[in-house]
Amino acid sequence: MSPLLLFLGTLISVGLATGGYYYRRRAEDLNWQRYRRGLARNWIALVALATLVGLRGTAKDLGLRPQPIGTFVDGTLFGFIAFAGTMILVGLVFRFVDELTLDRGSLVVIEQPRSRRLAVALTGATVESIVFYGFVLEAILSRTGEPLLAGVGATAGLLLARGRWGYRNALQWLPGALVLAGIALWARTVIVIVMIRFVYDSVTLLSADTSDYTVPGDS
């Protein structure tokens, strides 16, 4: 990975991870129109990163590697079981210990029609996975050759992105984010992560009901 691609790609990744934090300061004013603009900015960031890779690198710099069909099938199937099982277990723990809270951003999404919920699921699964479990993971591997460090870096990026909706959201995602890092390092293709996230996020958003959660006023 060239130094220029590494530098500019890192700027885009950090911007994606931290750029949504202003939502937390104006959570009371958040509506679908503002949320949709945030989704558009995420896609713009991904397109910008992909353009840089096209000019200065290869598809492998985004974690887009061809793999045997068995890797895709096993990674997606068993990876989904591991990730979804982890997230369900974490949700049960949070519900037992305290309450399973619903941040304002998630509330806005759950109130939308199914098509908009799917758009949110597709955006999160594609953009966050490719940026953090694709580019960030590959960038760290290319510079250090340390899988553990690469997994931690990818996980940190996703948690920062999730943290824009509150620390509890990031905390609830921590175990699952680590599972995704392990899957990405094993499969060595981010496509598996995109598939896992899209299926999980779609099922979660389409089946969610606000009555299942509490909504803290300061989320």
pLDDT in tens, 160-209: 988 887 778 888 899 999 999 999 999 999 999 999 999 999 999 998 77
Residue numbers in the chain where pLDDT is lower than 70 = 22-28, 98-103, 210-219
Domains of the chain, by residue range, sit at: 3-212
User: Residue 155: is it exposed, middle or buried by C-beta count within 10 angstroms (0-12/13-18/19+)?
Assistant: buried
pLDDT of residue 107: 82
Q: What is the 3-state secondary structure (H, E, C) of 187-208?
A: HCCHHHHHHHHHHHHHHHHHHC
pLDDT of residue 106: 77
pLDDT of residue 195: 96
| pTM for the predicted model, two decimal places | 0.90
pLDDT of residue 188: 93
